[in-house]
Amino acid sequence: MAALACAVLGAVTLGTAVPAVAAPAAPAARPATTGDTTGDRLPELDPQALQHALSSAPDRVTGVLARVSGPDGHWTGTYGTADIMTGAPVPVDGRFRLGSVTKTFIATVMLQLAAEGRVDLDQPVQRYLPDVLPDSYPPIPVRTLLNFTSSLPELTADDLPTTPDGIVEHRFDDHPLSELVAKAVRHKRPFTHPGCMQVYGATGYYVAAMLVEELTGHTYQQEITTRILQPLHLRDTTAPQTDTTIPGPHSDGYIAVPRPDGGSQLVDITEQNPGAGGMISTTADLDRFLTALFRGRLLSSTEQAELFDVPDVPYLGGTAHDPGQGRAYYAAGLMRVTLPNGVTVWGKTGTTFGYTNGMFTTRDLRRRLVYSFNPTTGGGNDLALVNRILSATFAP
């Protein structure tokens, strides 16, 4: 489980904690589904275990929110505060920044464009974006952008601010996709042949977003809105391009900035340039998106298969303790993990400054989890907290 959380770190960009608990609903009838069914292996929901998981990191987060849904029961819980100054409780319907969960939306749009014959996943990126990658690069198949086997290099700490002071000072800076890609490709590629290995990163999805814009003539945010958000009536989900605010109820995001005396102070960074991976949503909307995606409402059967087609290649730097045990475990915009009790879940995590979240489900949708919390470390998954939330939901 620790390897799971470590492997899904998103790549983009305190007060007194008071718990709140909602009682689980009675299980509903189970739908007929195929593929990765869980049979009778799912344990019953344990509200106490779930609430304990949410409240297990009071010194590292300001607020936590989680929603468990599906035919095997429902549960919603919160912990902490939405505002450290007022002590307001975390809103159950609160919005939060998605970070790299945006990748799943981009992958869905790309697969829709493939179904429409507007892009061939087997053709090189250079055919559609001839001036984006260096001339020295080999052909990079479009599919490899989506399943993290492209061999494209990543941004480093020298490219964007990563210290707390730097994050606060530059949180409103705008970094166009073309700038992010241009900075990334100055670095050495992690491996030589596209498609031969897998390693998680963001550059492939920056290029995929640029490809969406090239093929459609619209921003990738507009395409996500018209192709996914509007048809699914995800009214609390937005894909802002420049708006720095979070509309509607939400928990504020903070970062601990060191003080000269050796201590630290929490600085509110709720408002920030959305940049790449800047979508905003709620647990209810992400649950609806996952359900529609897995039921085939957004993709035809051929493209739907891409979501679950994990390449049979090594994971760069992987070990026997990883979700893939040294092999790839990402498909197009989703990752696959088999938990210790034998339950396989699919999903995605994301993080940006002040916000970390994730969505996971069994493939048959019998149990679905969406969570969000506000780390004070500036971004990145709190490994222990993510482990506890996942374990309490699927493998207590």
The pLDDT tens digits of the residues spanning 136-157 come to 999 999 999 999 999 999 999 9
- Rounded CA separation 81/75 (Å): 19
Whether 279 has a pLDDT exceeding 60, the answer reads yes
User: Cβ of 298: how many Cβ atoms within 10 Å?
Assistant: 22
131-135: average pLDDT: 96
349-378: average pLDDT: 94
> Half-sphere exposure of residue 7, counting CA atoms within 13 Å on the CB side?
29
Q: Which of 215-219, 276-280, 363-367 has the lowest mean pLDDT?
A: 276-280
How large a percentage of the chain has pLDDT more than 70? Answer: 89
Using one digit for the tens of pLDDT, what is the confidence trace for 239-272? Answer: 999 999 999 999 999 999 999 998 999 999 999 9
Confidence class of residue 4 from pLDDT cuts 50, 70 and 90? very low
Domains of the chain: 2-394 (3.40.710.10)
Using one digit for the tens of pLDDT, what is the confidence trace for 8-54? Answer: 333 333 222 332 323 233 333 333 333 466 655 788 999 999 999 99
Active site residue 100: yes
Residue 276's pLDDT is 73
- Rounded CA separation 247/131 (Å): 37
Using one digit for the tens of pLDDT, what is the confidence trace for 152-201? Answer: 999 999 999 889 999 999 999 999 999 999 999 999 999 999 999 999 99
Whether 298 has a pLDDT exceeding 80, the answer reads yes
Whether 362 has a pLDDT exceeding 80, the answer reads yes
DSSP 172: T
Whether 62 has a pLDDT exceeding 70, the answer reads yes
Residue 66's pLDDT is 98
CB-CB contact of 5 with 383 (8 Å) = yes
The mean pLDDT value of the chain amounts to: 89
Q: How far is CA 306 from the centre of its chain?
A: 18
Residue 36's pLDDT is 63
Which residues are within 8 A (CB) of 182 and not within 5 positions of it... i.e. 6 or more apart? none
Q: Mark residue 305 as left, alpha or beta (left: phi above 0; alpha: psi -120 to 50; beta: remaining).
A: alpha
Residue 341's pLDDT is 87
Residue 328's pLDDT is 97
SS3 category, 329: coil
Residue 40's pLDDT is 56
Which candidate in 100, 150, 281, 372 is catalytic?
100
- Rounded CA separation 363/77 (Å): 23
Residue 386's pLDDT is 87
pTM: 0.90
